[in-house]
Amino acid sequence: GGPTTLNNGCLLCRTCHRAVHHTDWDIIMGADRHPWLIPPTDIDPTRQPLPAYNRRTLTLAA
């Protein structure tokens, strides 16, 4: 739904990547610059964003 850039990217395992492309799951980058998962309506009719369990860091580890 937007440009592919390093600022809005997040790593996904194969299962989650396929779910985003082939089901009604969505991902947004929150104001906290971390990914938030939006479940399909059959899981949550209000589609409230959920914080990703694998929060990315904003620095490079040495």
Q: Which amino acid is at 34?
A: H
Strands 26-29 and 35-38: antiparallel
Residue 15 lies in a domain: yes
Residue 40 lies in a domain: yes
The C-alpha atoms of residue 17 and residue 20 are separated, in whole angstroms, by 5
Q: What is the pLDDT of residue 57?
A: 57
Bigger pLDDT: 12 or 59?
Answer: 12
Q: What is the pLDDT of residue 62?
A: 47
Confidence tier at 17 by pLDDT (50, 70, 90): confident
Residue 56 lies in a domain: no
Residue 41 lies in a domain: yes
pLDDT tens sequence across 27-57 = 888 887 788 899 999 999 999 999 887 665 5
- Domain span at residue 47 reads 6-51
Q: How large is the average pLDDT for residues 9-37?
A: 86
